[in-house]
Amino acid sequence: MKDGKCTKRYPRELLRETHTGHDGYPLYRRRKAGDGGFTAKVTILGCNEVAIDNKWVVPYCPILSKIFNAHINVEYCNTVKSIKYICKYVNKGSDQAVFGLERQEMRRDEVSRYEIGRYICSSEVTWRILDFPIHHRHPPVEHLYVHLENGQRVYFTEDNVRDRIAEPPRTTLTAFFDLCREDDFAKTLLYCDVPRYYRWDRSSKKWKRRIQGIHVEGHPGIKSCDTLGRVYTIHPSAFECYCLRLLLHIVRGPTSYKDLRMVNQFKCATFRRACSIRGLLEDEGHWSATLEEAAVGHSPRILRNLFGTMIVTCGLGNPKSLWDKHKESLAEDILLEPRTLLQPSTHTVEDIVIRLGGHELRTYGLPTPQRDQQVCNCRDLIRETNYDQDEFTTYVSSNEPLLVPDQAAAYHVILDNMQRGSGGIIFLDAPGGTGKTFLLNLLLAKVRQQKKIAIAVASSGIAATLLTGGRTAHSAFKLPLNLSHTETPTCNIAKVQEWPQY
């Protein structure tokens, strides 16, 4: 009971028939006395006699309760929410306990006093000692690689680099092309269906027919199993490879990349074009309607941001047609340039696309604007120097007097090292809420006030938002995200031919 009410919602409502509730659990039939239900009188606490009916009966399974001499009820789960509730307790992990170890003569230390300990209950101990299965997964899944021509990952050393260049190792995709050239049955399969009839031999890097399974009628020597093939996901930002993945799911028995680009005896130049002819890409009508609707009430600057976001994240099939149709609306605020060229508008769109996706417009099939090469190579420099100096001057003058002695000491030491050019690494350590972020933002404003570059980098996105002009380390230094899957991880910073002198 809580606040005078039962936490299990008793007494329940009387119902003529059982039906499913809103949360997925059944609401059992509870008939009243007039519909065939029963009432009874029970004695509570040895003195009070209370009349009860079906509103108070807890659901139970009579047979199981009789066998095990305990309250047992079995319910049928018919929603995802119900199954999630059960699996949450089945897979919740082992219980834990907190215990402390200390000696009488030692000083009490709250940090080293408590350690997290794990204990296993008797039933789990028995289960593990008898080596019973803990979990089981079925059916097996074979991951299938997808990459552009000569785009597979190759590992090499100084000793085998020539051999790897001459004959790069086969992947599941290139081996699939070889299989379709040699095996007539494979020519009838999609890429994702191959693991059902063939197994991937990792030593020889080849697909081989399965020797166990069910015989395929009409194809002697072919056996099938329940293995599933799953092609790795490709983000639409890598649109050419994304289109290749689409084609692999509809073209049966391709023998090469060229074969995938063939549509009605016509060889397409790109996988994007092949997908467009086959009707696999979305119609541009709704994207065009989106831009038309936004153009009614929004400025061209917002339209350019919207168009750049659509190019990078929405997988547009023909962004060139959208640009030709809406370039007047995208460039209404640019009046000083010849309206036939509209170069500054494409400059702005390309800057947005590079900031979001890291690629130039030509990657998405749009014309690249003519611009100074130095400007192209120094977008990061422009971003770090494009600040309002007057705003920083006001910020510094109003916040420097607010520094406490410890903050002021660190503030002057860091500025002194910067002015002397001595460099070094300074670690600022203080408890939470003591003003570390305030000091860092003041240092950034002081450096930028002097028209110098101060790069604000944090380890997480939440921490980066607290710094003026802050960015994550992965964004600023192009750090790879899959460090555990790479032999030699390197920062993904694009190489440039020539840097301007400053």
Model confidence pLDDT, tens digit, residues 270-292: 898 898 888 887 767 777 888 88
Please count the structural domains in the chain.
4
- Cα 411 to chain centroid distance, Å, stands at 39
Which pLDDT score is estimated for 208?
A: 94
The model's pLDDT over 458-493, given as tens digits with 9 standing for 90+, comes to 888 888 888 888 888 887 777 777 666 666 667 666
- The partner residues of 8 in beta bridges, in order of sequence, read none
Burial of 312 (0-12, 13-18, 19+ CB in 10 A): buried
Residue 97 maps to a domain: no
- Residue 390: pLDDT band with limits 50, 70, 90: confident
> CB 268: neighbour CB atoms within 10 A?
19
- Cα 97 to chain centroid distance, Å, stands at 34
Token readout for 374 is 């130095």
Task: Name the domain boundary from 317, 342, 371.
Answer: 371
Residue 478 maps to a domain: yes
Of the listed ranges 15-19, 106-110, 380-384, 422-426, the least confidently predicted one is: 106-110
- Rounded Cα gap, residues 311 and 287, in angstroms: 10
Residue type present at position 231:
V
Which pLDDT score is estimated for 500?
A: 39
> CB 77: neighbour CB atoms within 10 A?
15
Where do runs of H (alpha helix) occur along 239-388? 239-248, 257-260, 271-278, 285-297, 300-313, 319-330, 343-357, 373-377, 379-385
- Rounded Cα gap, residues 312 and 295, in angstroms: 20
Q: Are residues 350 and 459 in the same domain?
A: no
Q: What is the CA radius of gyration of the chain?
A: 34
- Residue 207: pLDDT band with limits 50, 70, 90: very high
- The partner residues of 15 in beta bridges, in order of sequence, read 30
Which pLDDT score is estimated for 105?
A: 67
CA atoms in the 13 A half-sphere facing the CB of 119: 7
Q: Are residues 390 and 481 in the same domain?
A: yes
Task: Name the domain boundary from 89, 104, 127.
Answer: 89
Report how far apart, in Å, the C-alpha atoms of 297 and of each of 205, 303, 326, 327 are: 58, 10, 15, 16
Task: Name the domain boundary from 234, 258, 278.
Answer: 278
Q: Are residues 183 and 248 in the same domain?
A: yes
- Rounded Cα gap, residues 443 and 456, in angstroms: 10
User: To the nearest whole percent, how much of the chain has pLDDT over 90?
Assistant: 18
Which pLDDT score is estimated for 261?
A: 92
Q: Tell whether the model's pLDDT for residue 501 goes beyond 70.
A: no
Pick the most confident of 113-127, 376-390, 400-414.
400-414
Of the listed ranges 11-15, 282-286, 309-313, the least confidently predicted one is: 282-286
- Rounded Cα gap, residues 89 and 41, in angstroms: 37
- Residue 116: pLDDT band with limits 50, 70, 90: low
The mean pLDDT value for 12-26 works out to: 81
Pick the most confident of 12-26, 105-119, 325-339.
12-26
Q: What angle do CA 436, 441, 447 make, to 5 degrees?
A: 125
- Of residues 222 and 86, the one with the higher pLDDT is 222
Q: Tell whether the model's pLDDT for residue 340 goes beyond 50.
A: no
Residue type present at position 443:
L
Range of the domain at 345: 285-371
Residue 380 maps to a domain: no
Which pLDDT score is estimated for 119?
A: 61
- Residue 243 sits at φ, ψ, to 5 deg, of -70, -35
- Residue 239: pLDDT band with limits 50, 70, 90: confident
Contacts of 29 (CB under 8 A, 6+ apart): 15, 16, 17, 18
Residue 157 maps to a domain: yes
Q: Are residues 255 and 303 in the same domain?
A: no
The mean pLDDT value for 389-410 works out to: 88
Q: DSSP letters of 426-437?
A: ------TTSSHH
- Of residues 340 and 120, the one with the higher pLDDT is 120
Residue 99 maps to a domain: no
- The partner residues of 214 in beta bridges, in order of sequence, read 224
Q: Are residues 417 and 366 in the same domain?
A: no
Which pLDDT score is estimated for 248?
A: 94
Are the C-beta atoms of residues 241 and 148 closer than 8 Å to each other?
A: yes
Q: DSSP letters of 133-186?
A: ------S-EEEE----TT-S-----TTTHHHHHHSPPP-HHHHHHHHHHH-TGG
Token readout for 110 is 């709250």
> CB 477: neighbour CB atoms within 10 A?
13
Q: Tell whether the model's pLDDT for residue 454 goes beyond 50.
A: yes
Which pLDDT score is estimated for 34?
A: 84
Token readout for 113 is 């006093």
Q: Are residues 366 and 400 in the same domain?
A: no
Q: Are residues 167 and 256 in the same domain?
A: yes
Q: What is the average pLDDT score of the chain?
A: 80
- Rounded Cα gap, residues 243 and 248, in angstroms: 9
Q: Are residues 258 and 308 in the same domain?
A: no
Q: Tell whether the model's pLDDT for residue 343 goes beyond 50.
A: no
Which pLDDT score is estimated for 227?
A: 92
Of the listed ranges 105-119, 238-252, 311-325, the least confidently predicted one is: 105-119
Q: Are residues 213 and 342 in the same domain?
A: no
Q: Are residues 269 and 170 in the same domain?
A: yes
Burial of 234 (0-12, 13-18, 19+ CB in 10 A): middle
The model's pLDDT over 131-174, given as tens digits with 9 standing for 90+, comes to 888 777 888 999 999 999 988 888 888 888 888 888 888 999 99
Q: Are residues 463 and 407 in the same domain?
A: yes
Which pLDDT score is estimated for 183?
A: 92
